[in-house]
Amino acid sequence: MQRNKFIETIKLLDSRIFHIEYHQERIKKTFSHFFPSEKVFSLENILSKQGFPEKGKYKIRFVYSAYDYTLEVIPYQITPIKSISCIDVGDLEYSYKFSDREQLNRLKKEALTDEVIFIKKGMVTDSSYANLVFSDGVKWYTPTSFLLNGTCRQRLLKEGKIEERPIFEKDIPSFGYIGLINAMLDLGELTLPLNHYTSPSEATTKSS
């Protein structure tokens, strides 16, 4: 995995930039860990100089290293998910948002479903591109064992809209809904009833 480039995906809706402070904080932490002697990029300064579309939903793709960055504005539509299953990721670490997603994409390709739930040491972590939340019909819960502490996850916890708890792979069938959250997907925008989930035993049957 390429270790010198990182990415922030920022929501742009009708010319409004969302939750920039969470993205800036993650950039700050990335610089502190990987480039401690370099000046941290200011998203506010960079984005204030850009011209953005006035209508529509877009993702701002900000790729950066210690000394330079690139910026793209891409139209965004939610990709529907009809099926999801579990994949064991072994000892995978992804605590910083690297721009190189080769390892994540390779793991996803092993599945026979549209999307995956990454499992690490028996515990639920993330999907291939989002944090996860699970509903029991009353509350939404997010696993404590995330790979990447996403900006939307942090915000929803701070706002009290979701709660954090340990979630094991064996716990998944006890929930009614699975949701995906990230900078482009707020709570409730992409959810799946549990009958869209393929259990490990079902996945084995389908692949045999």
CATH number, domain containing residue 19: 3.30.470.10
Query: pLDDT value at position 3?
Result: 60
Q: What is the pLDDT of residues 31-64, one digit of tens each?
A: 999 999 999 999 999 999 999 999 999 999 999 9
The answer as to whether 199 is a domain residue is no
Query: pLDDT value at position 203?
Result: 53
Residues 63 and 89 in one domain: no
Conformation bin of residue 127: beta by default, left when phi > 0, alpha when psi is -120 to 50: beta
Spatial contact of 27 and 7, defined as CB atoms under 8 Å apart: no
The answer as to whether 107 is a domain residue is yes
Q: How many domains does the chain have?
A: 2
One-letter amino acid identity for 27?
A: I
Chain centre to alpha carbon of residue 2: 18
Domain range holding 66?
6-75
Query: pLDDT value at position 21?
Result: 98
In angstroms, the CA 15 to CA 33 distance is 32
Q: What is the pTM of this model?
A: 0.92
In angstroms, the CA 113 to CA 108 distance is 9
Residues 121 and 165 in one domain: yes
Spatial contact of 99 and 5, defined as CB atoms under 8 Å apart: yes
Residues 92 and 22 in one domain: no
